[in-house]
Amino acid sequence: MILVDQVSALMRRRQVLATLVQRDLRVRYARSVLGYLWTILDPLAMACVYFVVFTQILDARDAGYDPYFLYLLTGLLAWQWFSQCMTETSRALLSEARLVRSTNLPRELWVVRVVMAKGVEFLFSLPVLVAFTAYYMAVGETQLHWGLVLFPVGIALQFLLMVGIGLVLAPITTLVTDTARVVRIALRMGFYATPVLYSVDQAPEGLRVLLMLNPMTGITEFYRAGLFSGQFNAVAMGVGAVISLVVLLIGVATFPRLEPAVLKEI
């Protein structure tokens, strides 16, 4: 019931939400010479670095599915959206404290607006993934198949996951500012606990269960399902979907309980 009420409140303010998302994007690129290209260059540069390290220096050519660069890029684009949302949603209420306090907008809107803005940037980065996929298809190193229809499912699940995490992090960070430091540490650890550089199948058997409890493990499988000849981990995908929905429900239940304390604090 709480979820329905929150969604209804956000839908009534959808025009305001759209305006705030547009504002965030304009501010991000306002004084940047390269503008939108930064959304592409960051994951692309990191993919190049990891590709050289793992295939040329460490010679770990079986670290992921072939072609490995495409595997890397897909994971890094998803992780970039996740990490940016974790950082920005944790301070979503603090950064807009005056507006949060003085307007009658649903306070959840400030979290959703961050996830949506970063989601738009993720969509802006997808042409790079499309270009490399087309290249590897042209040289015969990969081919698309029915699993590609799961890509939008991955986007939807990651969106819900990030909203759920944001609804927990935003009020807690407002009340306990040390949370921002914890988030930074968690992101460093989480990157290596997510199969961005490697596949789950390569992890020791005892660690696979723990890795699959990370919802981003299953979500990255949704993204990669249509790109690597039908190779995907259905169990990880199912676990990731369930955990994402559970996290959303936890966030929906937590936010209104902490909201009165947050309003007193800011």
Give pLDDT tens digits for 96-124. 888 888 777 888 898 999 999 999 989 98
* 107, two tokens: 């306070």
Backbone angle region of 140, left / alpha / beta, with phi > 0 → left and psi within -120 to 50 → alpha: left
List, as own/partner pairs, every contact residues 236-240 make where C-beta atoms lie below 8 angstroms and the sequence separation is at least 24, other chains included: 236/200, 236/211, 236/212, 237/150, 239/212, 239/213, 239/215, 240/157, 240/212, 240/214, 240/215, 240/216
Burial class of residue 112 in the structure, from the number of CB atoms within 10 Å of its CB (0-12 exposed, 13-18 middle, 19+ buried): buried
Mean of pLDDT values over 44-72: 73
Mean of pLDDT values over 155-175: 95
Mean of pLDDT values over 140-157: 90
The pLDDT value given to residue 157? 97
The pLDDT value given to residue 237? 94
Task: Give how far Cα 230 sits from Cα of 162, 204, 222, Å.
Answer: 27, 23, 11
pLDDT band at 48 (very low <50, low <70, confident <90, very high): confident
> What pLDDT digit, counting tens, does each position of 227-261 carry?
887 667 889 999 999 999 999 999 999 999 998 88
Is the pLDDT confidence value at 4 over 70? no
The pLDDT value given to residue 34? 59
The pLDDT value given to residue 206? 80
> Which of 22-36, 62-76, 86-100, 188-202 bottoms out in mean pLDDT, i.e. has the lowest?
22-36
> Which of 47-51, 143-147, 247-251 bottoms out in mean pLDDT, i.e. has the lowest?
47-51
> Which of 52-56, 73-77, 107-111, 169-173 bottoms out in mean pLDDT, i.e. has the lowest?
52-56
The pLDDT value given to residue 94? 86
pLDDT band at 81 (very low <50, low <70, confident <90, very high): very high
* 86, two tokens: 């974790």
